[in-house]
Amino acid sequence: MRTETQAVRQVEYTINDNQGKEYNGEHEPWMNNSIRQGFERLVRKLLQFPSSPAVIVLHYWKPSFGHFWATLEDEIDVIAKYYSLPSLSFRNTFYRAVAEQLPGFRWEDFVPDQTHPNALGSQYLAYTVISFFEAFLAGSPLLAAPLQPEAVLPPMFPGNEGSNRTSCKRGDTLRNMTRQVVAWEWVPGEKAGWTSSTVGAHMELSVKIHDAGETQLSLGYLHSSQSMGAAELTCHGGCMCIPQYMDAHHTASASMEYLKQFSVNRSHAGHCLLTIRISGITSSSGHNFKVLSLGLGEGTLQNHDMHQHYNR
């Protein structure tokens, strides 16, 4: 999200989101779980921007899912329908052509790594969106409903209002939160962040906590296959958290940002100090580690890391 003034917001979560029942164990019920609640809060936040943007939910689908039903699209679509949002389905548009292996629709044609669309796959996604707007402008009776309701409805999940205090610190904002830096280097640019390959290197981030009690944070770090190491995170300065361990190495060919989610506790509002230290343990041949962002969140904490690809 760039600004709060854009007229149209397009949201795509289907390809990478998790199933509460499958990934979080028996304590996460179907639908009314922390994962779906988080998506609803995102939708509500977008709908309440001052510019009142039209919000469109786009569902991507990849052939490696196999079956027509093997996707989270239908779960996420329930939330889109509740808020009367347009829901655009790559699966519904192209499944038959993919299933019949028509020229141009074999998985190696448009999604060679079985996950990310190449130039042709991006054209198919664009076609899905453009076709919707063409039908809308042509006055299709199937699209007679407005792009969004006049007023935002109460939450579909009771009490899932959300908060206006969520934030994500990147770039110079992240850099200015640093209080102590030992053997880390700031790398500017589009993917700016703190980087180090020195075992024992540490830095301290100061995070303002608005309320007493539990607050959810997320540390964004680079996940890659190129000589990546691990880091440990601890909390102090009037707040407490369970120490976190982050392994930045994986075997996939893509580089991506992983979000390590954790909660901190304070007895009163104030600053929390986070120390990040390069570990001597590594699952690769190196110790590279890069910190990209720090998020201040809301809602129930997930027991897993999330990731977002740089080409998104």
3-class SS letters over the chain: CCCCCCCEEEECCCCCCCCHHHHCCCCCCCCCCHHHHHHHHHHHHHHCCCCCCEEEEEECCCHHHCCCCCCCHHHHHHHHHHCCCCEEEHHHHHHHHHHCCCCCCCHHHHCCCCCCCCHHHHHHHHHHHHHHHHHHHCCCHHHCCCCCCCCCCCCCCCCCCCCCCCEEECHHHHHCCEEEEECCEEECCCCCEEEECCCCCEEEEEEEECCCEEEEEEEEEEEECCCECEEEEEEECCEECCCEEEECECCCCCCEEEEEEEEEEECCCEEEEEEEEECCCCCCCCCEEEEEEEEECCCCCCCCCEEEECCC
User: Do residues 131 and 171 both lie within one domain?
Assistant: no
How large is the greatest C-alpha to C-alpha distance in the chain, in angstroms?
63
User: Do residues 240 and 207 both lie within one domain?
Assistant: yes
| Range among 10-19, 191-200, 300-309 rated most confident | 191-200
User: Do residues 178 and 127 both lie within one domain?
Assistant: no
Q: Is residue 217 part of a domain?
A: yes
Q: What pLDDT is recorded for position 300? A: 43
User: Do residues 136 and 198 both lie within one domain?
Assistant: no
Q: What pLDDT is recorded for position 147? A: 53
User: Do residues 217 and 289 both lie within one domain?
Assistant: yes
Q: What pLDDT is recorded for position 277? A: 98
Q: What pLDDT is recorded for position 70? A: 83
Q: What pLDDT is recorded for position 148? A: 53
User: Do residues 291 and 177 both lie within one domain?
Assistant: yes
User: Do residues 295 and 259 both lie within one domain?
Assistant: yes
Q: Is residue 13 part of a domain?
A: yes
Is the pLDDT reported for residue 1 higher than 50? Answer: no
Mean pLDDT (whole number) for 91-107: 91
Q: Is residue 152 part of a domain?
A: no
% of the chain surpassing 70 pLDDT: 86
Q: Is residue 150 part of a domain?
A: no
Which domain CATH number covers 221? 2.60.120.260
User: Do residues 134 and 189 both lie within one domain?
Assistant: no
Q: Is residue 159 part of a domain?
A: no
Structural domain count, the chain: 2
142: confidence class by pLDDT, cuts 50, 70, 90: low
Span between the terminal Cα atoms of the chain, in Å: 11
Q: Which long-range contacts (CB under 8 A, 24 or more apart) does 171-179 make?
A: 174/205, 174/291, 174/292, 174/293, 174/294, 177/205, 177/206, 177/207, 177/294, 178/203, 178/204, 178/205, 178/206, 179/204, 179/205, 179/206, 179/273
Residue 71 structural domain: 8-143
Among residues 94, 128, 143, the one where a domain terminates is: 143
User: Do residues 123 and 226 both lie within one domain?
Assistant: no
User: Do residues 185 and 279 both lie within one domain?
Assistant: yes
Among residues 143, 178, 203, the one where a domain terminates is: 143
Q: Is residue 157 part of a domain?
A: no
Average pLDDT over all residues of the chain: 85
281: confidence class by pLDDT, cuts 50, 70, 90: very high
User: Do residues 186 and 302 both lie within one domain?
Assistant: yes
Question: How do residues 224-255 score in pLDDT, each as one tens digit?
Answer: 998 999 999 999 988 999 999 999 998 877 78
User: Do residues 134 and 192 both lie within one domain?
Assistant: no
